[in-house]
Structure 1
């Protein structure tokens, strides 16, 4: 299941360009020294991965709490179903709710801080820019967060989000080193495939929760009464 995070990040990179592409173009990298530019870009990506890792650990911890109630398989099925529904439901029905206003206030402060950091050229500025960038709203990140919850563990959730971030690194790096965007027709074709991959990953989580006995994909659940049965057998 961890590999699905890398696939989601890799094939969803063009979607990320819509949100993070302008920030990547605005990075105050050294245009005269490619080695230095690569180092600055690496710090930017490190900041993003750090933010994704923290987000993944927090939501993985939430998933772990739910799994302690014996809900891990049901949680995996629910997460997969939510992923698919979010692809099928138009975005206009999910935006503009009042309960989201506090989140928008926080995001406004993040963007303000991000704008201030983009004016600097110090190494810590690139790390900070990437870190703040990681907390900006992005539909694809939300999908990855659902995957982190389904894995039901802070370590697994953090690793899932980091792998997702790593999948976005190649294309995000390319736009910094290239002054031209890919052809619009190519971007349009790839963007049309993104919902397909999200649905595919959602189906994988559903299959995982069904416990079909498929190694590494859908293992059978461990009977909850196995431990108590073993103890009773050893009683005199």
Structure 2
């Protein structure tokens, strides 16, 4: 399966969705224009929630392209294999930290998220011009700004984008990740209270965390081959 690396990142986004809903649940609720009273209101909400999320995924994709390009420059100046190996190990350590974070064993990623607040403080005031979002043309840029919300899950996968050494692959990996987060946040938007309660369940978060932890541990055990078949199509060994 030549593109299995993108599937792996998609699954990380899907499993990490418990954290997404926890982090973004309040924002998702606030983005709703009005409380849904019936099926017609729900139908009107779908395009807006989809636009929010497409804007968010677009921001992730752009950041992935930037990090992938930066990774390629670092590899050129430091020697491709040593730099790629160092970035690969860092990326998998971030996945291990994320898995432990999701299981509740440690809040090791909390300082990383707090560091991102410096950027978010500059971005957040820009969201006011699109609120309340009553059309797709307002929801899409609002979602793009939402993509800058500090999130340890996003930062963990962005580290992997560095390893790709390519703007195109970096964009692809973040697109796959963003699509993985899509089901959780769409459901959180449309079934907000009920779905949030499910994702806050300790057992659900624990199982998801163990799965993400497994990806990181597997990657570290296969560092010599840069992940082998699992990261095929994403990390290109040279």
Larger radius of gyration: 1
| Higher relative contact order structure (alpha carbons within 8 Å, sequence separation ≥ 6) | 2
Following TM superposition, by how much is the alpha carbon of 1:87 offset from its aligned partner in structure 2, in angstroms? 5.5
Gap change, CA 1:167 and 1:184, over 3 Å in 2: closer
CA deviation profile, 1:127-172 (whole Å, cap 9, x unmatched): 0121011111011111111111122211111111111111111121
In the alignment, structure 2 segments of 5+ residues that lack a partner are none
Gap change, CA 1:214 and 1:127, over 3 Å in 2: closer
Q: Which secondary structure state, in structure 1, belongs to the residue aligned with residue 91 of structure 2?
A: helix
Quick check: 1:54 aligned with 2:70? no
Q: Which secondary structure state, in structure 2, belongs to the residue aligned with residue 181 of structure 1?
A: helix
Matches within 5 A, 1:108-187: 108-182=121-195, 183=197, 187=201
Residue among 199, 203, 207 paired with 2:213: 199
- Give the whole-Å Cα distance in 2 for the aligned partners of 1:130 and 1:181: 23
CA contact (8 A) 2:57 2:144 kept: yes
Quick check: 1:7 aligned with 2:20? no
Q: Which secondary structure state, in structure 2, belongs to the residue aligned with residue 76 of structure 1?
A: helix
CA contact (8 A) 2:98 2:213 kept: no
Residue among 85, 91, 95 paired with 2:111: 95
Gap change, CA 1:197 and 1:143, over 3 Å in 2: farther
In the alignment, structure 1 segments of 5+ residues that lack a partner are 223-236
Q: Which secondary structure state, in structure 2, belongs to the residue aligned with residue 159 of structure 1?
A: helix
CA deviation profile, 1:92-113 (whole Å, cap 9, x unmatched): 79639x9x4xx53431132222
Between 112-121 and 122-131, report the one with greater CA deviation: 112-121
Q: State how many pairs are aligned.
A: 219
- TM-score by structure 1 length? 0.78
RMSD in angstroms over aligned alpha carbons? Answer: 3.2
Matches within 5 A, 1:211-230: 211=225, 214-215=228-229, 217=231, 221-222=237-238
Between 160-169 and 209-218, report the one with greater CA deviation: 209-218
CA contact (8 A) 1:41 1:173 kept: yes
Gap change, CA 1:29 and 1:85, over 3 Å in 2: closer
CA contact (8 A) 1:61 1:152 kept: yes
- TM-score by structure 2 length? 0.77
Following TM superposition, by how much is the alpha carbon of 1:75 offset from its aligned partner in structure 2, in angstroms? 2.5
